[in-house]
Structure 1
Amino acid sequence: MEEVVSENVVPSSDELIKRAEELVPLIKSRASSAAQNRNLDDEVVEALAEAGMFELRRPHRYGGYETSARGLFDVLSTLSTGDGSTGWNTAVWAIGSWMAAAFPDHVQDEVFATRATRICVVLSPTAVATETDGGLRVNGRWRFMSGARHSHWQVIITMAPAPDGGQWPVAALVPMSELKVEDDWYASGFAGTGSVTTIAEDLFVPQERTLPMPAILQGRYATELNADSPVFRTPMIPTGASGFIGVAVGMGRAAMDEFLQRLPGRKITFTDYDDQSAAPVTHFQVAEAALKLDEAEFHAHRMVGALDDKGVAGEPWTLQERMHNRGMLGRLVQLVGESVNTLANASGGSSIYTSVPIQRIQRDVQAFTLHGLMHPNTNFELYGRGICGLEPNTMYI
């Protein structure tokens, strides 16, 4: 299959941020309807594609940008000020492209044959595969498949026979046309992500489109043409986190903006304060929320800085560095959650109306916090094990 080659100059990070900023009004205007419809608006997805938001982690040779970790963070945090669900799905598609770029190069030719290719992924190995002639036969289902209805491919994870006779998780690239979709996404947070369940029934996957998860997590990728790229030789979990933390910080910024926009002239009911902005309690609340958001961004910049620096230098990550990265991820998520909760609690009874965005932002942030890889306690435990000299109790580091 002929490769898709770009004739355009790769845009700078500043240009990509500008494009993202220009999309925010549209994204924000469709955020409520996306939550009600349990899926992103088609016009928003088309606008994201037109602005190149699906090229962020597409390889250069297919017209992609191979955006740095800092650039990815900046773009996704900007998009997420408009809507967390939109930012989340864009982050999912970015890590989906990155994972596809780890597969053999001729497989990438097929996956990236379409412009603005969108690849959804979830890491839970909730399927079972058996070996068959030329590949695997897969049966199973994957919940929380964000962006499935707007995706072309899915990275599925299935348990499959391992060389030692046991079982291990294997990633595989599958066209969405070969999977069934169960419309079961009725959620309190990230409602607009369309995170439905996808189902494989006696699905054949060619061997060339499979890659063991231990190999991916240990940085042993099958690609040759991407091997020297600073973006594609970084470890998977820190790489994925570099996008998702942008979503968290963007939602935190949005909460602060929404709170301050509603603040002028707001009374504090059943008190003598005719203007909430004059109340000392408000000063404490906004200061605490702002500083926690600042601290979250500090951790974010450390995380993406390490990725970019090590990617350019081609330096491997130590186990302690990976565990520390997970610790910073947990702290960032905790800080953003606390910041948004403080602002939501200070927003008064009228903020529960669905027309007031901060209630949706708070629910989206809660959904983010509950994600298995984002949950602060899970990350703190892992980092703490490292500090105490213990081995990690997960391969996802």
Structure 2
Amino acid sequence: MDVTQTVPGPELVRRAAELVPLLQKHASWSEENRRLHDEVVEAMADAGLFRMRVPRRYGGYESDTRTLCDVAAHLARGDGSAAWTASVWWIPGWMVGMFPDEVQDEVFATPDVRVCGTLSPTGGAEPRPGGVLLNGQWGFISGAWHSQWQEIIAMGAAPDGTPMPVMMLVPMTDLEIVDDWYTAGMRGSGSVTTVARDVFVPAERVLPLPAVLQGQYASAGNADSPVWRAPLLGVAAASSVGTVLGLARAAREAFLDRLPGRKITYTSYESQAEAPVTHLQVAEATLKTDQAEFHAHRVTSLVDEKGRSGEPWTIEERARSRADVGAVCQLGRAAVDVLAMASGGSSIYSSVPIQRIARDVQTVNLHALMTPQTNYELYGRVLCGLEPNSFYI
């Protein structure tokens, strides 16, 4: 498939939908082996999905976040881990566009480059002539096995010597991978731990995180692009919601696929499809999914419209983007839970997809930046006229 030319959003969404059978085929393998199947990664690359957040001057598409959401929703219909990992690659991949152009030249020289990363400052960066010396370890690094670079946050120092978190890019060849991803959900994402031991990072690959969070990026080439006219957390929010939306849709598809011929054990209903309780369950789950879609598209619309107009973000809009993510997670999980409970005892077998879908959506809801209650509290605090109590807004 030719991906050398700019590809419009609807075409990328169509390609993602076509990958669903392949993702379903390898979902069990990916879960058992705790990483994505190589064929899945290659297929996503062939479809151009790793170029969606790459600048056009490097052969990328600069796709908007609505397209990211819709693509991830299709991927999650096949495998939640594949969708989640793709969204994680999109976010640090977009963050590469904040760095000086000469750094981007180096990173984007690799076709279909994949950059994993995290926002947790669980390492230290000591000043050295021409750069910093990095030590530390970072957990939950989704897609590390198939990445060429990692975006890393560590505690460094401001020019006056006060502690300051910094963001940097490090080749995966400079890092160690600890194979510790033994989890209840999202097992196929391969979200292992990475370790840096006395890794030298050149100064051009180091940015102050406070400046990044305020939208002060170092790239001249991306300065006029709508894609990079957005705050980091808003972009992260809009890039993540598609996975949960897709898992809710996957649950309904999986439930309806098993429905014909099923009865409700220990009742007089020989056909589950004819039972009023089933009608209530399917309707409730579908409406919750529809509500999740509203919040997913609201946050992507905010990011994309602000990017096109160049208007600054208000504190309330920043907090609402976090709240919209929380709503998608809460509603998506509720939709999956309804259908998982309606699937009967036989659904606990590993061969039945809905048990994996339920574990995956539960796992996403536990992510620190996506947990509904934390995000709602932040939004409500701002609505009540108080200052946000989070650095990540």
Q: With structure 1 as the length reference, what TM-score do the two structures score?
A: 0.97
Instruction: Tell whether the 8 Å contact from 2:66 to 2:304 is kept in structure 1 after alignment.
Output: yes
Offset of residue 243 of structure 1: 1.6
Matched, 1:307 2:290: no
**What corresponds to 1:158 in structure 2?**
154
What is the alpha-carbon distance in structure 2 between the residues aligned to residue 280 and residue 382 of structure 1?
A: 40
Matched, 1:72 2:89: no
Offset of residue 186 of structure 1: 0.4
1:18-37 correspondence runs (5 A):
18-37=14-33
CA displacement 1:215-268 (0-9 Å, x = unmatched):
111100000110110111111111111121001101110001000111112111
Alignment partner of 1:184: what SS? coil
Matched, 1:53 2:86: no
What is the alpha-carbon distance in structure 2 between the residues aligned to residue 286 and residue 318 of structure 1?
A: 38
Alignment partner of 2:137: what SS? strand
**Aligned match for 1:223, one of 213, 219, 225:** 219
Matched, 1:245 2:244: no
> Across the two proteins, how many residue pairs are aligned to each other?
392
What is the alpha-carbon distance in structure 2 between the residues aligned to residue 278 and residue 47 of structure 1?
A: 40
**What corresponds to 1:3 in structure 2?**
none
What is the alpha-carbon distance in structure 2 between the residues aligned to residue 62 and residue 387 of structure 1?
A: 41
CA displacement 1:29-63 (0-9 Å, x = unmatched):
10011000000000110111111110010110000
**What corresponds to 1:139 in structure 2?**
135
Offset of residue 9 of structure 1: 2.7
Amino acid at match of 2:205: R
**Aligned match for 1:324, one of 320, 326, 331:** 320
Instruction: Tell whether the 8 Å contact from 2:169 to 2:206 is kept in structure 1 after alignment.
Output: yes
What is the alpha-carbon distance in structure 2 between the residues aligned to residue 271 and residue 103 of structure 1?
A: 63
CA displacement 1:151-186 (0-9 Å, x = unmatched):
000001101112343212111000000000111010
Instruction: Tell whether the 8 Å contact from 2:3 to 2:48 is kept in structure 1 after alignment.
Output: no
Q: CA RMSD in A?
A: 1.1
Amino acid at match of 1:309: E
List structure 1 runs of 4+ shifted beyond 3 angstroms. none
Alignment partner of 2:50: what SS? coil
Instruction: Tell whether the 8 Å contact from 2:3 to 2:47 is kept in structure 1 after alignment.
Output: no
Alignment partner of 2:49: what SS? coil
Q: With structure 2 as the length reference, what TM-score do the two structures score?
A: 0.98
Matched, 1:97 2:93: yes
What is the alpha-carbon distance in structure 1 between the residues aligned to residue 202 and residue 26 of structure 2?
A: 39
**What corresponds to 1:389 in structure 2?**
385
**What corresponds to 1:12 in structure 2?**
8
Offset of residue 324 of structure 1: 1.4
What is the alpha-carbon distance in structure 2 between the residues aligned to residue 379 and residue 189 of structure 1?
A: 22
1:331-350 correspondence runs (5 A):
331-350=327-346
What is the alpha-carbon distance in structure 2 between the residues aligned to residue 200 and residue 68 of structure 1?
A: 33
1:174-193 correspondence runs (5 A):
174-193=170-189
What is the alpha-carbon distance in structure 2 between the residues aligned to residue 384 and residue 306 of structure 1?
A: 19
Matched, 1:112 2:112: no
Amino acid at match of 1:103: F
Identity of aligned residues (%): 57
**Aligned match for 2:288, one of 266, 277, 292:** 292
Offset of residue 7 of structure 1: 8.9
Instruction: Tell whether the 8 Å contact from 2:262 to 2:272 is kept in structure 1 after alignment.
Output: yes
Instruction: Tell whether the 8 Å contact from 2:133 to 2:200 is kept in structure 1 after alignment.
Output: yes
Offset of residue 8 of structure 1: 3.5
CA displacement 1:93-145 (0-9 Å, x = unmatched):
11111000100001100010110000001111000111111111111000000
Structure 2 residue runs without a partner (length 5+): none
Amino acid at match of 1:238: G
Instruction: Tell whether the 8 Å contact from 2:5 to 2:59 is kept in structure 1 after alignment.
Output: no
CA displacement 1:197-224 (0-9 Å, x = unmatched):
0000011111110011111111000001
What is the alpha-carbon distance in structure 2 between the residues aligned to residue 157 and residue 332 of structure 1?
A: 27
Instruction: Tell whether the 8 Å contact from 2:34 to 2:190 is kept in structure 1 after alignment.
Output: yes
1:356-375 correspondence runs (5 A):
356-375=352-371
Alignment partner of 2:165: what SS? strand
Matched, 1:352 2:348: yes
Offset of residue 191 of structure 1: 0.2
**Aligned match for 1:265, one of 261, 265, 279:** 261
CA displacement 1:53-100 (0-9 Å, x = unmatched):
100101100000000111111111111111000001100111111000
What is the alpha-carbon distance in structure 2 between the residues aligned to residue 143 and residue 166 of structure 1?
A: 26
What is the alpha-carbon distance in structure 2 between the residues aligned to residue 25 and residue 173 of structure 1?
A: 34
What is the alpha-carbon distance in structure 2 between the residues aligned to residue 289 and residue 175 of structure 1?
A: 43
Instruction: Tell whether the 8 Å contact from 2:3 to 2:46 is kept in structure 1 after alignment.
Output: no
**What corresponds to 2:210 in structure 1?**
214
Alignment partner of 1:187: what SS? coil
**What corresponds to 2:118 in structure 1?**
122
Structure 1 residue runs without a partner (length 5+): 1-5
Amino acid at match of 1:94: W
Alignment partner of 1:231: what SS? helix
